[in-house]
Amino acid sequence: MPEYLAVRCHGLKTHLLPNQAIEALASSKNIKEFADVLASTDYGEKIRELKEIDAYALEEIFTNELIKRYNYVINASSNAMQDFLKAYAKRFEVQSLTRILRSKAFKTSRKDIKSFLPLIQSFSSLNLDKLIEAESIERVIELLKGTPYSKIVKGLELYQKYNSILPLEIHLKKIYYEMVFEALEMLPSEDQKEIRDLLGIEIDTANCFTALAPLLYGYAPELTKQLLIPFFFKIPFSSLKEVIESKSLHTALTLFKSYENFIKPLLEKGDEALAEINILKLLKRKAEEIMLKFNIEFAYAIAYLTLCEIEWRNLILIAFLTQQNLEAKQYLII
């Protein structure tokens, strides 16, 4: 029953850090002070076990807590809800595959890959260690044959032609959203709409970013059109196509006005980090809206997980910027 799951998530939500706490953490003078402030939270027990505190060790703790929260919600659900949650959680598997592909492209050491990979084996049927040990991108793709990600091979020719892993990353996203929307169809219609709206923000902004590639990075329009995720929400395909072909700043600002806060940092400053933060702020606001309107529906659980992921991103960002003595406040998702 969705009511039971929603009630459980109401209790879990009280463990999330409020905006004021996130802002206070961002004011930490150093990484030790940051860790000390977290001592009384859900992260405190694991932090106290650390012999040496650094951003990488803290990232592992934050990721473990996120996975724990996901697993709790998945295990508290049943039937179509659980099937959807398992598909939705594949986002971490896709993120891991993306990191592995990037590591092959940029010749990152195997040790470095393992230290950065999310600890998502409980969500994955893949042999991630074997993929990490693969000697090339082509070998990674070969190892993915017979898995849900076998269709990534469709991006191999574009990768080889343009010497860019972006086609492979986009194919992973396409596969992920196909799995998620297939599982979404099994849910009640009232839950479908709200969850679709959350997913729509992710997909629309990913497609907007892709459509800006000819303008920002000189990508060929023919390649760019092939990289669009084939699901469209506030931004129709016709608008994406027009921006791709025009390579016009004015056209992009006009047709992508729904996501103005996302595209302006890209177009005016080339600031991809700030653009991504603004996407996450949109997702946070949408999740909070769902929680107010649908507080005993299944969509509440997805909104809760969205906020869990945003807390995770906030904490990792603060940890690494604090360790480097850099200002974090402008990049907070609050």
pLDDT means per 10 residues, the chain with 334 residues, are 85 95 94 93 93 92 93 92 95 91 82 62 81 91 93 89 88 95 91 93 95 91 92 96 94 94 89 91 96 92 97 96 92 92
- Predicted local distance difference test score (pLDDT) of residue 119: 65
CATH label of the domain that carries residue 58 = 1.10.132
Q: Check: CB of residue 280 under 8 Å from CB of residue 310.
A: yes
- Predicted local distance difference test score (pLDDT) of residue 110: 67
193, 290: one domain: yes
159, 197: one domain: no
- Predicted local distance difference test score (pLDDT) of residue 117: 63
Structural domains counted in the chain: 3
- Predicted local distance difference test score (pLDDT) of residue 113: 64
1, 74: one domain: yes
Distance CA 35, CA 44 (A): 8
At position 42, the amino acid (one-letter code) is D
- Predicted local distance difference test score (pLDDT) of residue 3: 83
Name the domain boundary from 129, 161, 187: 187
203, 181: one domain: no
Structural domain of 266: 188-294
Name the domain boundary from 187, 211, 240: 187
Q: Buried b / exposed e across 263-279, counting CB within 10 Å, b at 16+?
A: bbbbbeeebeebbbbbb
In degrees rounded to 5, what are phi and psi of residue 276? -65, -40
- Predicted local distance difference test score (pLDDT) of residue 217: 87
- 103 in any annotated domain: yes
217, 152: one domain: no
